[in-house]
Amino acid sequence: MSRIAKSPVAILSGVSVDIKGQIVTVKGPKGTGSIELHEAVSIKEDNGTLLFEPKNDSSMPITGTMRSLVNNIVIGVTQGYEKKLLLVGVGYRATLQGKDLKLALGFSHDVIYKAPEGISFEVPKNQTEITVTGIDKQKIGQVCAEIRDFRPPEPYKGKGVRYADEHVFRKEAKKA
């Protein structure tokens, strides 16, 4: 059994936490994030840390989940999160149109991906790498998954959109 719920969340300098009932709002140098805690979880602030306690014995797993989500918000408003995507394939490239992302992925048309609020894109000079940054870890993962779904990596040539740390299992071509 995990004991993540018992470890406190450190409130870093420059971060303010506001607890109103079950809603926790965290403000930091990069922005503001908030979450509504499950009703089976209680939270209290003590000497620059946040302590989580289950209201009954059977709610320990959700207490650990809520603790991790609040910790992700604290890290997001102080450091932020980023994920990298790679475009592999001849002619596959990405460019920025204002805040939106324009992708050439081998279709007859370019794919325009509108940037959600709180998410920003960076495309270096070689145009085959995309960096997605923001303060919400879940939203960054969702945006990367949606971009990857336009052209997921295929197993024979490895072409497509993949995460920077993803390993694509390659299949052998048909034998003659």
pLDDT of residue 125: 84
pLDDT of residue 1: 58
Q: Which tokens belong to 89? A: 């394939």
Contact 161, 150 (CB under 8 A): yes
pTM: 0.88
Q: Which residues contact 74 (CB under 8 A, 6 or more apart)?
A: 9, 10, 11, 12, 15, 17, 26, 28
β-pairing, 31-36 with 41-46? unpaired
**Taking the mean position of all CA atoms in its chain, how far away is CA 64?**
19
Closest by Cα among 138, 152, 156 to 73: 138
pLDDT tens for the 176 residues of the chain, in order: 578 889 999 998 889 999 998 999 999 999 999 999 999 999 999 888 999 999 988 888 999 999 999 999 999 999 999 999 999 999 999 999 999 999 999 999 999 999 999 999 999 888 999 999 999 999 999 999 999 999 999 999 989 999 999 898 999 888 87
Q: How far is CA 111 from CA 22, 114, 140, 141, in A?
A: 41, 10, 19, 19
pLDDT of residue 3: 86
Q: Tell me how crowded residue 43 is: count the other CB atoms within 10 A of its CB.
A: 19
β-pairing, 81-88 with 129-134? antiparallel
Structural domains of the chain sorted by starting position, each given as residue range(s) with its CATH number in brackets = 4-78 (3.90.930.12), 81-163 (3.90.930.12)
